Copies of this chain bind each other. A is one copy, B any other.
Amino acid sequence: MTELTVRTSKREEIVDITDQIQKVVTQSGTQDGVCFVFCPHTTAAVCVNENADPSVKVDILDQLHRLIPPNLRYHHTEGNADAHIKAVLVGNSLFVPIVKGRLKLGTWQGIFFCEFDGPRTRHVWVQITPSISQ
């Protein structure tokens, strides 16, 4: 397992981590397999979405903020209950195929770290398994 570091600079922020994860894949020497990405935090998440127009990231954060506002009456009183709920909705684990030594993503896709309670220094864990030739 490889641990990556992601530094976030705002309370809510979506950070492209595709290049960092590709480096792990390259260093592993894996040609065909599956790359697993795990977020070990409970107020952050990982997702795959558009890396072309940066306004998509703004819309994702805006709408999550609208649906799960931070100022409701929550039972968890640390001021980040909304961040926990957003993390559950977006999810803390994902995988991406590896083909010919490269992360195989769709044309417009990137891998993103979603910060919901920053700014913080965060981590992402990466694992790789071989796949069956098909």
Contacts and interface: CB of A to CB of B under 8 A. Distances in A.
A58 B75 contact: yes
A21 interface: no
Nearest to A107: B40
B128 A128 contact: no
A83 to B, nearest CB: 10
B92 A48 contact: yes
Interface in A3-31: 24, 27-28, 30
A47 B94 CA distance: 12
Contact of A59 (B62, B84, B95): B84
Interface residues of A, number: 66
A56 B76 CA distance: 6
A87 B36 contact: no
Interface string A48-68: 111001011011101110011
B49 A84 contact: yes
Nearest to A105: B40
A19 B107 CA distance: 26
A113 to B, nearest CB: 13
